Amino acid sequence: MDTILVVNAGSSSVKFEVFAVEGSTLKRQTRGQVDGIGTQPRLRAKGPDQTVLVDREFVAAKVPDVPAALAAAGDWLREELDLHPIAIGHRVVHGGPDFDAPVRVDAEVLHRLERYIPLAPLHQPYNLAPMRTVLATMPDIPQVACFDTAFHRGHSALADHYAIPEALYAEGVRRYGFHGLSYEYIAATLPEIAPEIAAKRVIVAHLGSGASMCGMNGGRSVESTMGFTALDGLPMGTRPGQIDPGVVLYLAAEKGMSATELQRFLYHDCGLKGLSGISNDMRELQDSPDPRAKLAVDYFVYRIGLNAGMLAAAMGGVDGFVFTAGIGENSAKLRAAIAEKLAWLGVALDAAANEARQSLISGSSSRIPVYVVPTDEELMIARHTLALLGKGSMQPKHERAS
């Protein structure tokens, strides 16, 4: 059985999924992760029917870093499941100005992608680490890098620029947008789930620990709330979202914060965590009686409403709204609060449908339909990997697997 391995590596975990290749379609076989890297490493995986396949702990010294975590997962896949992937697809957060589509990985590609580590310090170095390991130890296995920025690369010059000297734009200082693999999956799925809006103007809200929104017209990205880095736009779990650059200047000049300290502050100490002083977890904040938690939740909802207005202006109107990602898919309470902020668009939810997390959650009186569409970035990566191998189409069938 031919399989494709999809890898999404972070600082303390490596998530992986295995897809069986059946002609030009893909079927999910295994989903797992190695987390607690360097502290309390643990390998867990489930089959397509949610059966637990492995739950194994390691001593910290055995899995001290991302390459070791990938090796632990790879050994288990080979030795116990007898899986030998024909290719590996990787999520890469930042493709910079060079990469507007998935690409086969070699030493030169890795070298070029390393330049964007400062633009995505929470993700990029860890995204690249498994590629480097596989290239060094198993160079014959094809690897494909899939970028969260690529889906937005068709933006107009107006949406793409900052009001700064053109020389900086030429160097790559521009508005990229992120969560592109998620938005690309939604765009590919809407013709089946919501054909009446698939070719029209749709706002998609990818709401998770990292959060952004995208305005799509005809399945293509028109505008995004994120820009040069994944700090921009909506407030997130630990990132501030939109912030006056003068605040950063103030922190440097008056608080004496270095570039390194600023980077850590903006990526780790702000957002819902910073505003509430309690947690970066939306579930904890919604359950907390603390008024600071309420402020953080209300702020999140308020900013989503503001950015919906921006995206509506960019597209000249809105024909549909889609919730996706962890918070967007799972929090009926938050969806209802956001819908109230979108009443000016004519949004009206069906309360029962929303609580039941049905696909269509808007009521009959709503001027635009509102959907909940689960995203599947890993399947999108597997699709691209298959296509780049010449074994499948870039416009695959809807084969979301559980």
* Catalytic center residues: 148
In three-state secondary structure terms, 234 is coil
**Rg, C-alpha atoms of the chain:** 21
Task: Give every CB contact of residue 360 below 8 A, 6+ residues apart in sequence.
Answer: 194, 350, 353, 369, 370, 371
Q: How is residue 154 written in tokens?
A: 């068709």
176, 152 in Cβ contact below 8 A? Answer: yes
Q: What strands lie across the sheet with 370-372, from one edge to the other? A: 220-224, 211-217, 201-207, 320-324, 370-372
DSSP 189: H
Supply angle C-alpha 121, 71, 8, rounded to 5. Answer: 40
Q: Work out the end-to-end distance of the chain between its first and last CA atoms, rounded to an integer number of angstroms.
A: 19
DSSP 37: T
Residue 386: enclosing H or E segment and its boundaries? helix 377-388
Longest dimension (CA), the chain: 61
CB of 227 closer than 8 Å to CB of 242: no
Strands 87-92 and 3-9: parallel
Question: 242: burial class by Cβ within 10 Å (0-12, 13-18, 19+)?
Answer: middle
Core vs surface per residue 105-140: b (16+ CB within 10 A) or e: beeebeeebeebeebbbbbbbbbbbbbebbbeeeee
